[in-house]
Structure 1
Amino acid sequence: MNYLSAENIAKSFGDRWLFRNISFGISRGDKIALIGTNGTGKTTFLNILTGKLPSDEGGVSVKKDIRVGYLDQSPAFDETLPILEVIFSSNNPVAQAVKRYELAIETDNHDELSVAMEDMDKYNAWDFEYKTKEVLGWLGVHNTDSLYGTLSGGQRKRVALAKVLLEDPDLLILDEPTNHLDLDTVEWLEEYLNTSNTTILVVTHDRYFLDTVCNQVLELDHGSAYTYKGNYSYFLEKKAEREEIEAAGIDKARNLMRKELDWIRRQPKARGTKAKYRVDAFEELKEKASQKKVDTQMELNVRTSRLGSKIIEMENVSKGFGERQLIKNFEYTFRKGDRIGIVGQNGMGKSTLLNMITGELQPDSGKIDKGETVQFGYYKQSDLVFNENQRVIDIVKDVAEVVQLGTGETVTVGNLLQAFLFSPSKQYDFISKLSGGEKRRLQLLLILIKQPNFLILDEPTNDLDIASLNVLEEFLLNFPGCLVIVSHDRYFLDRLVEHIFVFEGEGKVSDFPGNYTELRDYQDDMEAEKKLAESSKSAKSVPVAAVKEVVVAPVAKRKLSFKEQKEMETLEAEMAQMEKKKTQLLENINKGGSHVEVTNWAVQIEELTNSQAEKEMRWLELSENA
């Protein structure tokens, strides 16, 4: 079933065509990644598909009764509304039923609660209420009474993402959904989208996300669109083949054009009998021959300042704000060539540690000793401030006219900009014409050409396209100084870091030797061992009395939903039945039987124990909410 069709759509700004003659469709079940370098028009393309912008040519049609959800880069809602009002502001009847139910519970209005519960039953909204709590919890949207206007840019993006996910549209269009999310939340979103039946069109630079979630890639490149039926790895392979074929075609067209140009010139000017078809063919040939071949040899390699033997020593460093302890008794001595990643949930103190390293913040206790030769290069998202009326090349020339490379050669800033994917024409654009990703790329370049030897990058991958990330990664792989990276891009961390500072909460920061994937494998192993130990402990001590105690325990007054109350009662009954069955199986084993029978009974006891442990955890979760 075709959900959306675009026929020959085009968009221009002034005399420049951003893209033209693009046709494609989205069918039910498609999970499509939209890829392209910064400035190719990905966001504009999405705005046209969703009707926020008109197309200069062609048109877009959406199947009747198909609900489209769109998360744009800068979501805007009524800033005077509480977060919960923003999330439930859609016309989705299920969302409206949950909104009425939550309000009735909050106001303790029994009449309204009765009507609200009827609506909850009518729209089968009990699952939606659970889903709402799950989505808001994972996205870190907790205080839903806060006004939307008081939120930071990252928090607003999370609220908007929660809203569009809960609307449960048939077609979900997402523009950079992983920006401003911590790694755990990115992985949750990846799993959520990967297991849902929703049709998706997404713009993201997260290469692991693309590989896991998407089954098709749509690439915008030099005003044209190319479709690849496969994940990101397949796209890379086929894109390389396409570029090789195109480069050969351009060379062939240029050779043929020389012959055709000679024929055109030899024809008498006044003669009107030139073969018109050959003249027309020459014009098409000229257009193809004038295309630029893809340059895959661009490299960024800037010289760094000398770094002495003493870099930074941190001894028993602690820092907190108010009653909250972010970092407690942290110790580390930085060495030459350190390549460190920093991970942890938002708000745990990652930026606080970076600011203490650079001296922008002082610790509450402990000592930070910095070497005399250390020169910081600190990339922060909050520092993106440019004069919009200045040209790109002039801003870079304000820092340096020429730059010395790591090889000892000197190059002009124009050549350096080109190595960082700013074409000669783009270098003379005003800052106001740059996309968000192009501004990020420029900011990074301005930091790098100052020749730092201790480089700190706080979420450098936000808004950068994959081509820019590849250039940046190649530079950082050869960076000889100390490198510290905070990022939610798992591929970026895996490729660049050798050990990781893990913010675990309550001031604890551990140092893990390895990259991000190795860290996750280790954490998964530890979690599996923990569950196995709990399961074994539960199997050894048959908690008959505990279960009986749970069953007969008086139920306190609680603000649980009708569905949760029923679930809690069902769990209590199921746990009692499981305990009874386990007791019977243990009696069977004690009485004895054949080897096959005893083995079968033991397997059943283990399965019951595991299932019982899960139900007990869920019961405890519900009882805590009571």
Structure 2
Amino acid sequence: MNYINVESISKSYGELELFSNLSFSIHKDDKIAFVAKNGSGKTSILNILSGADVPDDGQIVIRNGIRLAFLSQNPEFEPELTIEQAIFNSDLPVLKIIENYEKALQNPENADAYQKAFEQMDMNNAWEFETQIKQILFQLKLDDLSQTIKTMSGGQVKRLALAHALIINPDVLILDEPTNHLDLEMIEWLEQYFAKAQFTLFMVTHDRYFLERVCNEIIELDHGQLYTYKGNYTYYLENKETRIAQEEVETGKAKQLFKKELDWMRRQPKARTTKSKSRIDDFSDIKKRAHQRRKDHNIELEINMERLGSKIVEFHKVSKSFEDKVILDNFEYTFKRGERIGIIGKNGTGKSTFLNMLTNSVQPDGGKIVIGETVKFGYYTQGGIKIKPGQKVIEVIKEFGEFIPLTKGRQISAKQLLERFLFDGKKQHDFVEKLSGGEQKRLYLCTVLIQNPNFLILDEPTNDLDIVTLNVLEDFLLDFPGCLLVVSHDRYFMDKIVDHLFVFKGEGKVKDFPGNYSDYREYEDSNASEALSETQNESVSEEKEEQNKAEKLSYNEQKEYKNLESKIRALELDKKELEAKFLDSSLSQDKINELSKKLQRIIDDMAKKEKRWFELAERLGI
């Protein structure tokens, strides 16, 4: 059943054209992700679909009787409303019945009102719906229904808007970055909820595991054209690669034809015949196809950062509390060169406070933090960039530096760094205030990197970044030779980038886990399923485990062994992906040589890691 038709819509702001002549449809049970670079108009399209904005041209045709709900990036509620009032602020009849019942419960002396409300709940089968509401509010940590909107954080308001959208049970749910401001536990719950619920979804999200597990269709806006992929994220990646390869073949053919037609045009044909006129008219189209090229910049970065000394950062019995809330309790850790640590934990467990203590903007209550003399921090905070009116993109970068030094005496300029992060020459001279939210985050990231830090701290770097930018950032970080500390709820990003985790459990407890996020989830799930038997033999098992560890591998070697398994799996996937590119018959010799060198580096890295893995495995007796 067709729910929504988008017919030839266009949108511009002054001279800036976001998109033109776009058409697509949304059908019942579709779970569509809309993918495009920042600044392409994704949020504008969602606003147009929801009725919050209108296109300059074209129209949106919505089937009669279809109920829509829209989760925007910056939802707004009346500040004086409570959570309960905001939830029940809907024309959905069953919500009115539940609201009346909840009020009757608060006035038990009015027996008649309670009896009437109870009967209405029975007659309309509202009990199950009420249970569902409570589950949603519980999962999204909205427990205090009397809390007013004006006292809530931005993240809490976003979660309230998501809860409201889920509770009103719309036919079509339109979502703009639904996983922002959700912790990992909430994201995984939402995945499962969408898998069971009969929602038709149209969303913008950068969360690639979410795309993989929730969506059954991906629509991509790429260089002004729409491409539809009937499958999940893996299917999209595979078929996009094939499409781009085919486009390059077609562009090559168009170039050959252009040379032939250009030679004919230079002979100044007299357009006297119908055939000649038609050929002249076709020439401009051939020229356009021949000169078509993708703006996918790829600058190899071998950073020549300032060398880290033997002492980097040491935490000695560090404690921190806010009133009764304990953030750290006698925390100890010594950072080593090249460490890549991810930080995970529920909202409010102190992740950002930990980063602020590390960078000396928040002081510990007890203990001390020692920072080595050679450490140069680069700190990407959630606050983002501070916009100065009239300032251009390139001017922002040059305030922090003109270039980054590379190995072998080379360097990369501010202009080249911006190109690497998808700011073309024209965009570099745009005013910062004209950039989209995602583009501003991307620019802020560049201001951190241009300072050439050797200890990089990233607090939720993936929020509002598009998937294309995330891939660029991941490539940069994989080559980054310094220390890396990342707070992120993006599981795909964490799996690819980090070696081990600090898991903030709350109440000052921090677990140092050897492995990435998927390893941790597997470990936690395994522990949960074996909890009963482990309880019975806990003391014996722990004693034997510690004894075996002491005899076979040190603590650091155990972490290394676990990390090697993850890294080898990741390299195998990279190797397969790279080998697939050699199937493109249009590859130039230079490109083949470049891919061959990259493949050889991966093969050498795999061999080195496999050799070390076998050494450790032999000592374990595997």
TM > 0.5: yes
Q: In the alignment, is residue 450 of structure 1 matched against residue 451 of structure 2? A: yes
Change (3 A) 1:60 1:383: closer
Using the TM superposition, give the Cα deviation of residue 35 of structure 1 relative to its aligned residue in structure 2, in angstroms.
0.7
> Which amino acid letter does the alignment assign opposite residue 9 of structure 1?
I
What RMSD over aligned residues (CA atoms) do the two structures have, in Å? 2.0
**1 CA distance for matches of 2:226 and 2:84?**
39
Partner of 2:617: none
**2 CA distance for matches of 1:234 and 1:77?**
38
**2 CA distance for matches of 1:14 and 1:82?**
40
**2 CA distance for matches of 1:534 and 1:116?**
47
Q: In the alignment, is residue 291 of structure 1 matched against residue 289 of structure 2? A: no
Q: Is the 8 A contact 2:3 2:28 kept in 1?
A: yes
Change (3 A) 1:258 1:379: same
- State which drifts further: 186-195 or 398-407: 398-407
Partner of 1:596: none
Change (3 A) 1:300 1:218: farther
Partner of 2:64: 64
> Which amino acid letter does the alignment assign opposite residue 185 of structure 2?
D
Indicate the SS of the match to 2:443.
helix
Q: In the alignment, is residue 427 of structure 1 matched against residue 455 of structure 2? A: no
**2 CA distance for matches of 1:217 and 1:469?**
17
How do residues 268-279 of structure 1 correspond to structure 2 at under 5 angstroms?
A: 275-279=276-280
Partner of 1:111: 112
Q: Is the 8 A contact 2:297 2:420 kept in 1?
A: no
How do residues 536-575 of structure 1 correspond to structure 2 at under 5 angstroms?
A: none
Partner of 1:25: 25
Partner of 1:239: 240
- State which drifts further: 403-412 or 475-484: 403-412
Partner of 1:416: 417
Partner of 1:187: 188
Indicate the SS of the match to 1:76.
coil
1:264-285 Cα offsets, whole Å, 9 max, x none, are 3323679687733222211222
**2 CA distance for matches of 1:104 and 1:55?**
46
Q: Is the 8 A contact 1:473 1:492 kept in 2?
A: yes
> Which amino acid letter does the alignment assign opposite residue 376 of structure 2?
Q
Q: Is the 8 A contact 1:393 1:427 kept in 2?
A: yes
Partner of 2:124: 123
Partner of 1:263: 264
Q: In the alignment, is residue 322 of structure 1 matched against residue 305 of structure 2? A: no
Partner of 2:252: 251
Q: In the alignment, is residue 101 of structure 1 matched against residue 63 of structure 2? A: no
How do residues 323-338 of structure 1 correspond to structure 2 at under 5 angstroms?
A: 323-338=324-339
Q: Is the 8 A contact 1:73 1:176 kept in 2?
A: yes
Q: Is the 8 A contact 1:5 1:60 kept in 2?
A: yes
How do residues 157-196 of structure 1 correspond to structure 2 at under 5 angstroms?
A: 157-196=158-197
**2 CA distance for matches of 1:426 and 1:47?**
24
**1 CA distance for matches of 2:25 and 2:186?**
30
- State which drifts further: 163-172 or 145-154: 145-154
State TM-score, norm by structure 1.
0.82
Using the TM superposition, give the Cα deviation of residue 156 of structure 1 relative to its aligned residue in structure 2, in angstroms.
1.1
Indicate the SS of the match to 2:21.
strand
How do residues 39-50 of structure 1 correspond to structure 2 at under 5 angstroms?
A: 39-50=39-50
Q: In the alignment, is residue 468 of structure 1 matched against residue 469 of structure 2? A: yes
Indicate the SS of the match to 1:476.
helix
Using the TM superposition, give the Cα deviation of residue 199 of structure 1 relative to its aligned residue in structure 2, in angstroms.
1.0
> Which amino acid letter does the alignment assign opposite residue 65 of structure 1?
G
Change (3 A) 1:535 1:97: farther
Using the TM superposition, give the Cα deviation of residue 214 of structure 1 relative to its aligned residue in structure 2, in angstroms.
0.7
**2 CA distance for matches of 1:536 and 1:417?**
57
Using the TM superposition, give the Cα deviation of residue 500 of structure 1 relative to its aligned residue in structure 2, in angstroms.
0.7
Partner of 1:280: 281
Partner of 2:395: 394
> Which amino acid letter does the alignment assign opposite residue 325 of structure 1?
V
Using the TM superposition, give the Cα deviation of residue 352 of structure 1 relative to its aligned residue in structure 2, in angstroms.
1.4
Indicate the SS of the match to 2:106.
helix
**2 CA distance for matches of 1:398 and 1:82?**
45
Change (3 A) 1:228 1:388: farther
> Which amino acid letter does the alignment assign opposite residue 384 of structure 1?
I
Indicate the SS of the match to 2:320.
strand
Using the TM superposition, give the Cα deviation of residue 122 of structure 1 relative to its aligned residue in structure 2, in angstroms.
2.8
Q: Is the 8 A contact 1:10 1:22 kept in 2?
A: yes
Long gaps (5+) in structure 1: 538-626
Change (3 A) 1:74 1:341: same
Partner of 2:386: 385
> Which amino acid letter does the alignment assign opposite residue 417 of structure 1?
L
Rg bigger for which structure? 1
Q: Is the 8 A contact 2:314 2:335 kept in 1?
A: yes
Using the TM superposition, give the Cα deviation of residue 172 of structure 1 relative to its aligned residue in structure 2, in angstroms.
1.0
Q: In the alignment, is residue 437 of structure 1 matched against residue 438 of structure 2? A: yes
Q: Report sequence identity in percent.
A: 52
Q: In the alignment, is residue 36 of structure 1 matched against residue 36 of structure 2? A: yes
Using the TM superposition, give the Cα deviation of residue 407 of structure 1 relative to its aligned residue in structure 2, in angstroms.
5.0
Q: Is the 8 A contact 1:311 1:371 kept in 2?
A: yes
Partner of 1:6: 6
Indicate the SS of the match to 1:275.
helix
1:228-266 Cα offsets, whole Å, 9 max, x none, are 011100100110111111122222223322322332332
Q: Is the 8 A contact 1:317 1:368 kept in 2?
A: yes
Change (3 A) 1:92 1:408: farther
Q: Is the 8 A contact 1:300 1:416 kept in 2?
A: no
State TM-score, norm by structure 2.
0.83
Q: Is the 8 A contact 2:297 2:422 kept in 1?
A: no
Long gaps (5+) in structure 2: 539-622
Partner of 2:498: 497
> Which amino acid letter does the alignment assign opposite residue 123 of structure 2?
K
Change (3 A) 1:295 1:188: same
Using the TM superposition, give the Cα deviation of residue 301 of structure 1 relative to its aligned residue in structure 2, in angstroms.
4.9
1:340-396 Cα offsets, whole Å, 9 max, x none, are 111110001111111111111111111211111111111111143121421101111
**2 CA distance for matches of 1:476 and 1:90?**
46
Q: Is the 8 A contact 2:498 2:516 kept in 1?
A: yes
Q: Is the 8 A contact 1:300 1:474 kept in 2?
A: no
Change (3 A) 1:65 1:300: farther
1:61-88 Cα offsets, whole Å, 9 max, x none, are 1111111111111111212211221122
Using the TM superposition, give the Cα deviation of residue 297 of structure 1 relative to its aligned residue in structure 2, in angstroms.
3.2
Q: Is the 8 A contact 1:314 1:331 kept in 2?
A: yes
- State which drifts further: 119-128 or 372-381: 119-128
Using the TM superposition, give the Cα deviation of residue 286 of structure 1 relative to its aligned residue in structure 2, in angstroms.
2.5
Q: Is the 8 A contact 1:10 1:55 kept in 2?
A: yes
Q: Is the 8 A contact 1:299 1:471 kept in 2?
A: no
Change (3 A) 1:303 1:388: farther
Q: Is the 8 A contact 2:414 2:450 kept in 1?
A: no
Q: Is the 8 A contact 1:193 1:213 kept in 2?
A: yes
- State which drifts further: 402-411 or 451-460: 402-411
> Which amino acid letter does the alignment assign opposite residue 231 of structure 1?
N
**2 CA distance for matches of 1:261 and 1:426?**
32
Q: Is the 8 A contact 1:317 1:327 kept in 2?
A: yes
1:78-114 Cα offsets, whole Å, 9 max, x none, are 1221122112211111122222222222344433322
Q: Is the 8 A contact 1:247 1:294 kept in 2?
A: no
> Which amino acid letter does the alignment assign opposite residue 4 of structure 1?
I
Indicate the SS of the match to 1:363.
coil
> Which amino acid letter does the alignment assign opposite residue 350 of structure 1?
K
> Which amino acid letter does the alignment assign opposite residue 195 of structure 1?
K
Partner of 2:559: none
Partner of 2:597: none
Change (3 A) 1:340 1:282: same
**1 CA distance for matches of 2:125 and 2:213?**
31
Indicate the SS of the match to 1:77.
coil
